[in-house]
Amino acid sequence: MARAPITAFLAMAGMAWFGGANACDAPKEPGSLPDPATASEPDMVAAQANVKQYLTGMEARLKCLESTKDTDRYNDSVSQMQKVAGKFNAIVRAYRARTAG
């Protein structure tokens, strides 16, 4: 009787290991970011949500990489996060400058 739960657990673990996304995999970067010269507020809000989702996925990746002691991929991931966040922040500053006043 106890065999069925163990088999089910092993099957689920195998699917998670081979079929599911690995936490150490990098999430897909946000698609093209809006042009601050022409972006609307909904464009900016959608871009912000995409960037936040990407950064959340990357934070999970960092935790995974910490556990594997993969310093090179960890550092590359931090650099990539900074690049994406920096690009988005520059777009936000330009958008705000255009829409201020």
pLDDT tens, position by position, 26-75:
999 998 999 999 999 999 999 999 999 999 999 999 999 999 999 999 99
Structural domains of the chain, count: 1
Is 86 within a domain?
yes
Is 56 within a domain?
yes
pLDDT band at 20 (very low <50, low <70, confident <90, very high): very low
Residues 48/88, Cβ–Cβ less than 8 Å: yes
Task: Single out the residue of 59, 41, 54, 17 nearest to residue 95, CA to CA.
Answer: 41
User: Residues 71-98: pLDDT tens digits?
Assistant: 999 999 999 999 999 999 999 999 999 9
Encoding tokens for residue 42? Answer: 């909904």
Residues 41/68, Cβ–Cβ less than 8 Å: no
Is 2 within a domain?
no
Angle between helix 71-99 and 41-68 (nearest 10): 170
pLDDT band at 13 (very low <50, low <70, confident <90, very high): very low
Region of 69 please: left (phi>0), alpha (psi -120 to 50) or beta.
left
Is 50 within a domain?
yes
Is 3 within a domain?
no
Is 85 within a domain?
yes
pLDDT score at 21? 54
* Neighbour tally for 44: CB within 10 Å: 19
